[in-house]
Structure 1
Amino acid sequence: MTCLMVYPSFVSPSIFRCPICSLPLTEATTQAVCANQHQFDRAREGYLNLLPVQHKHSKEPGDAKVQLQARRHFLQAGYFDGMLSHLFSRIHELLSDSDGGRLLDIGCGEGHFSLAMAKEFPACAIYGVDIAKSGVRMAARAAQVAGQAIRYAVASSYALPFEDASIDLVTRIYAPSKDEELRRVLNANGCLIVVVPGVNHLIGLRRRVYADIRDHKPPPTPSGFEYLGHSDYQAGLTVPAGSDTAALLAMTPFSWRMGSILRQQLERDGLEDRLHFELYSYRVCS
């Protein structure tokens, strides 16, 4: 089956900037180029690769493809939909103009959250970046199939390929970042939402994997931001035996510490546990 190619309807001028010299990029259907003639090809899925070699720390940085596929399987099954609704309510509260704006999802992975954002905020321009090329490719393909013009790029969250003050709101869901870069790309009224696991997140599974459970610590207020508030989302989690449980185990970072006997037992029996996410909101300091 041949998919219709859907490329984003690019804003003019582009808010992407060259990751090598920081000059603005001019976008076209097949590539982006800066005034210094640094050229970046657009993949057939529509994303730009804006990750120079000097920003890589390995041949294939970021999450492995098998983790990304497991994450897609689990998220598409709807287990995190309640958290997403909670997040979207907060975004609606923070956006000064609900009829427009630019939203950036850093550490977008395979694109589940950014695609959901595009559907929830159809008047906004949605951007997603991740250092894992496999993840961005998956995200861009999903956006094409869904007919959503999301602007994706392979890039480092520590060197965001965007112009200064070009973004209205950033979501950071389980992703690393650099305070100075978040502050730089957000405009004067820009907001940041950080989503982290709470103390009860997958607590039952963690107790079976680790002898010593360490509580997740709240993130410090990023430099250059003022704290706006905190909320959390908790819910029971029931995952049936089989592929859904296997996907959850494959996508969690502590799966590497899990023995094969425990893994097989969980995949055979399923999982009863708890979800707990904490949302921290910030605004750029004036």
Structure 2
Amino acid sequence: MNALSCPLCRLPLMLNSQGVGCGNRHQFDRAKEGYLNLLPVQQKHSREPGDAKAQLQARRQFLQAGFFLPLRQRLQQVLPASAQQVLDIGCGEGYFTQGIAEALGSAQVYGMDIAKAGVRLAAKTAKSEAMGTRLIYAVASSFDLPLADESMDLVTRIYAPSKDAELYRVIKSGGMLVIVSPGEQHLLGLRQRIYREVRPHQLTPVPEGFRLIEQQSLLADLTIAQPELRAALLDMTPFAWRMSAELKASLINELFVDRMDFTLSLYNKM
């Protein structure tokens, strides 16, 4: 855990009986679920920043059903086996973070998200599956990461915001950044039902200080037969806020047939 730094003074954080602390006696206790809260109150812009608890629970229900397993498996394939210090930004409830940890064996993996409800869910799973200190979850801001300079061999960002300067700061020279973003066809049929005008997803710009080395597309059919899982898909996305109750009920009661479309962009820090 020597990559963690104090979010208040930037000194290294060291393990202690309660959680972690720094040389300036700033203490951050470990929650009973196993995660650390490294988000100072001055970095919070609302009482509960990040995705809402209901949205995260819906995401967990949908992902655990295996619909995005092809993305998890493709992500595992592109990760460099040599990576020993790894960060997953915007880890949410931990589905992809755990897949990263499984693929990289002995690597130290950090999952960070500003939403405490998501980190709590992720840490509970890691604790129940005895992942130990090889997988550390923390509530933290992706715009002010509690990590030492040039401490990460690899950073993954799946559907999450970040700050180019922070990515550049924490990734080692020559280290890798993997960004997953939605492709043109992603849930296009659903979006056409919800929006009058469907705007194409914007291409992810190359982060400053990085070089694009490879870009992969992943397209697959997506059929959801169970009404409760159709509801989970709607509730885990911003779509839930953009539709009438009548349309939502109709979508839940109909067989869902659409496509998933993801773009995986691999970068090296220059």
Q: Which TM-score tier does this pair reach, normalised by the shorter chain?
A: over 0.9
In the alignment, does 2:137 pair up with 1:146?
no
Write the deviation string for residues 106-161 of structure 1: whole angstroms up to 9, x where unpaired. Answer: 00001111111122222211110000011111100000111113111100000011
- 1:36 corresponding residue in structure 2: 24
Residue in 2 that maps onto 1:159: 144
How many matched pairs? 268
Aligned to 1:111: 94
2:83–2:154 Cα contact (<8 Å) kept: no
Deviation at 1:241, TM superposition (A): 3.5
Quick check: 1:107–1:175 contact (8 Å CA) kept in 2? Answer: yes
Q: Does structure 2 retain, via aligned residues, the 8 Å contact 1:197–1:278?
A: yes
Q: Which runs of 4+ in 1 moved over 4 A?
A: none
- For residue 208 of structure 2, the aligned residue among 220, 223, 230 is 223
Q: Which residue of 1 aligns with 2:228?
A: 243
Measure the CA separation in 1 of the matches of 2:37 and 2:68.
29
2:260 pairs, out of 263, 271, 275, with 275
In the TM superposition, residue 17 of structure 1 has moved relative to its aligned partner by 0.3
1:51 pairs with 2:36: no
Task: Determine the C-alpha separation between the residues in 2 that align with 1:123 and 1:151.
Answer: 13
Q: Deviations over 1:251-277 (max 9, x none)?
A: 011221111111111111131000000
**Any residues of structure 2 matched to 1:4-23 within 5 Å, and which?**
11=1, 14-23=2-11
Contact 1:241–1:266 (CA under 8 A) maintained in structure 2: no
Partner of 1:4: none
Counterpart-to-counterpart distance in 1, 2:20 and 2:76? 32
1:26-105 to structure 2, matched below 5 A, reads 26-91=14-79, 95=80, 98=81, 101-105=84-88
Equivalent residue, structure 2, for 1:130: 113
In 1: Cα distance, 2:198 partner to 2:214 partner: 27
Equivalent-residue separation in structure 2 for 1:46 and 1:196 (angstroms): 29
Once the 2 structures are TM-superposed, how far is the Cα of residue 100 of structure 1 from its aligned partner?
5.1
One-letter code of the match for 1:161?
Answer: P
Q: Contact 1:75–1:112 at 8 Å: present in 2 too?
A: yes
Write out per-residue CA displacement over residues 227-254 of structure 1, whole angstroms, 9 at most, x where no aligned residue: 1121110000000131110100000112
With normalisation by structure 2, the TM-score equals 0.97
Please tell me whether the aligned partners of residues 230 and 281 of structure 1 are also in contact (alpha carbons under 8 angstroms).
yes
TM-score scaled by structure 1? 0.91
1:61 Cα deviation (Å)? 0.1
Q: Which residue of 2 aligns with 1:7?
A: none
1:8 corresponds in structure 2 to none
* RMSD, matched Cα: 1.1
Q: Indicate conservation of the 8 Å contact 2:83/2:153, yes or no.
A: no
SS at match of 2:153: strand
Q: Determine if contact 1:241/1:269 at 8 Å carries over to the other structure.
A: no
Give the share of equivalent positions with the same residue, in percent.
Answer: 50
- Whole-angstrom CA distance in 2 between matches of 1:120 and 1:193: 15
Q: Determine if contact 1:129/1:157 at 8 Å carries over to the other structure.
A: yes
Asked if the contact 1:240/1:271 (under 8 Å) is kept, the reply is yes
Deviates more, 1:60-69 or 1:236-245: 236-245
Residue 79 (structure 1) shift: 0.4
Structure 2 residue identity aligned to 1:252:
T
Q: Any stretches of 5+ residues in structure 1 without a counterpart?
A: 1-10
Structure-1 separation of matches of 2:82 and 2:172? 17
Q: Secondary structure at the match of 1:220?
A: coil
CA contact (8 A) 2:183 2:263 kept: yes
CA distance in 2, matches of 1:162, 1:169: 13
Inter-partner Cα distance in structure 2 for 1:153 and 1:140: 9
Report the alpha carbon displacement of residue 15 of structure 1 after superposing the two structures with TM: 1.2
User: What is the rounded CA distance, in whole Å, between the counterparts of 2:113 and 2:82 in structure 1?
Assistant: 26
Q: Alignment partner of 1:265: what SS?
A: helix
